[in-house]
Amino acid sequence: MSTAKLPTRPAAGTLARLAAVAFLLVASLGAIDNIGAARAATIVIVNENAPGVGFNDPTPADPVGGNPGTTLGEQRLIAFQHAADLWEATLDSDVPIRIGASFVPLSCNITSAVLGAAGATEAWANFPGAPRTNTWYPGALAARLAGVDLTAPEDPHISASFNSLLGLTPTCVPGLTFYLGLDNNAGAQIDLVAVLLHEIAHGLGFQSFTSGDTGQTLLGRPAIWDYYLLDNRSGRTWAQMTTAQRAASARAWRGLSWNGANVTAAVPGALGPAPLLSISGGAAGDAFGRYGVGVAGFGTPLGTTAVRGELMPVVDQANGNGLACSPLNALNALAVRARVALVDRGTCDYTVKARNVQAAGAIGMIVADNVAGEVAGMPGEASDITIPSVRITRADGQRLKTALQARSRTASGVMARLAIDPERLAGADDQRRMLMYSPTAIAPGSSISHYTTEGTPNQLMEPSINADLTHEVAPPRDLTLPLLRDIGW
């Protein structure tokens, strides 16, 4: 029997609305006692905040969304208990699960923040009842499988931290605060219960112990995670691959899938059809083809009836970009009227852009990312926006802009078609296995340990918290529990 103790510091991710997982290193030993029968799990929250801060913050607070707490600290703790209750009702374990938790300052800036970070504090291998030998299991799961607590009583199984500054200081996304209600009615705020559910799942085992950056396993031994993490191009799991192959696989966008029976069985019921942008037309040239897109939380969802029109760019910046953050001038309005508008991400909310191109007569909007990376969705709510919008990568945006060079003021010869693809599921590979998050540039704390950002509807275990999340962790709405089932819960 061997263990590895994992540090509890949060990951240094900076993605907007990011809920990151932190983990790794330092070995320690545990002990085993007797094995008992499974029953509903018990989760014990260990408040690790000092008096006066975090969960003990005495700032008065009005009850909100079913949360009766009268101080900020009380409300945070009540929300945490609510999330723990939801997981307790979902899992079976004879061994109480201890979560050491605190609200502390985490990485953030004026536009983005790490919302939380969590992970197992220990990994265990070769304990009695371990389904696989020489394989790491997170402490809470190992205890469940062993039927006895392997972790020292004074230690938590899971360590979790949450951003105490979010929206509360001028330098930490001012105005974007945690919603502390329990009713899943966060509006434009960040739903803390959803964040808590997400982070608890990481601690339960929704995380890789093998480094995505280097491909190295923890102390030379694969984790249970690695038996299900599948390179869908080679057909090998991470447990079957070399260190170098794993490192390459971690950077293969859409190249990593989850090959667990529970998740795969639930995928068709959980995911909707994939959104699709098709580019055609005599002037499309190298831009001809199908594009993966991120969908918008606002506007008309894509459907089987396609929105099709000539693609024309908005250009309102000296560098050729089009932000569409203000009403379109006459030339841009002429360009996009009755056509699909191509704009650039940045400076203002997606809804502002959509509202402006819609007011100019556009029938759809494509937003090209302004930083390198893979496709992601577009959060936002706006009941007045009726046109569909999708988001593409910066590289794809550049391809389209190149094709649009041979245009006039009102025509480009490049046709855009926005629809759903009935043959594919949003967030699944061609074999209908759930895709994992594997951006081409490793996102520390996020790569590999999350589902893809392309899930529709958005999944709890995507790297970012999205506004359409419910508090469900099980099918048909959510695929978190099936993955935990796959690894042994």
Q: Smaller CB distance to other proteins: residue 337 or 432?
A: 337
Helical (H) or strand (E) element with 103: strand 97-104
* Interactions with other proteins, residue window 317-336 (CB under 8 A): 317-320, 331, 334
> CB under 8 A: which stretch of 60-68, 297-305, 313-321, 477-485 binds other proteins?
313-321
- Evaluate whether 422 touches 276 at the Cβ level (below 8 Å): no
Q: How many CB atoms lie within 10 A of CB 31?
A: 12
- Told to check if 409 binds other proteins by CB under 8 A, we report yes
DSSP string, 171-204: TS-TT--EE--SSS--TTSEEHHHHHHHHHHHHH
Residue 340 as a binder of other proteins (CB under 8 A): the answer is: no
- Report the C-alpha gap between 354 and 330 in whole angstroms: 17
Residue of 461, 21, 436, 9 lying closest to 203 (CA atoms): 21
Stretch that binds other proteins, among 99-107, 142-150, 279-287, 421-429 (CB under 8 A): 279-287
- Stretches 198-206, 226-234, 408-416, 463-471: which one binds other proteins (CB under 8 A)? 408-416
Does residue 315 belong to the site contacting other proteins (CB under 8 A)? yes
CB count within 10 Å of CB 82 equals 20
Minimal distance in Å, beta carbon 284 to other proteins? 10
Return the residue of 128, 272, 273, 281 that touches other proteins, per CB under 8 A. Answer: 281
Would you count residue 338 as binding other proteins (CB under 8 A)?
no
Q: Which of 3, 412, 446, 447 binds other proteins (CB under 8 A)?
A: 412
Q: How far is Cα of residue 75 from the mean position of the Cα atoms in its chain?
A: 25
- Residue number, 284 or 428, with CB nearest to other proteins: 284
Comparing CB distances to other proteins, the nearer of 295 and 314 is 314
Minimum CB distance to other proteins smaller for 404 or for 425 = 404
Number of residues that bind other proteins (CB under 8 A): 19
State the minimum distance, in angstroms, from the CB of residue 279 to other proteins. 13
C-beta of residue 134 within 8 angstroms of C-beta of residue 126: yes
| Residue 406 interacting with other proteins (CB under 8 A) | yes
Specify the stretch interacting with other proteins by CB under 8 A; choose among 52-60, 151-159, 210-218, 410-418.
410-418
Q: 344 and 321 in contact (C-beta within 8 Å)?
A: yes
CB of 341 to other proteins, least distance (A): 16
List all residues 6 or more positions away from 232 whose beta carbon is below 8 Å from its beta carbon: 254, 255, 256, 257, 429, 430, 431, 433
Virtual torsion, Cα 153, 158, 159, 164, nearest 10 deg: -120
Stretch touching other proteins by CB under 8 A, among 189-197, 296-304, 316-324, 434-442: 316-324
Pick the piece of the chain touching other proteins (CB under 8 A) from 102-110, 113-121, 365-373, 401-409.
401-409
Instruction: Name the pairing type of β-strands 97-104 and 114-120.
Output: unpaired
Strand partners, 43: 97
Alpha carbons 85 and 64: distance in angstroms, whole number: 19
In contact, 179 and 192? CB cutoff 8 Å: yes
- ∠ CA(473), CA(25), CA(156), 5° rounding? 50
Q: Which is nearer to other proteins, 221 or 339 (CB)?
A: 339
Residue 368 interacts with other proteins (CB under 8 A)? Answer: no
Min dist CB 337 to other proteins, Å, is 11
Binding mask 102-141 for other proteins (x = CB under 8 A): ----------------------------------------
Residues that bind other proteins (CB under 8 A): 281-283, 315, 317-320, 331, 334, 405-413
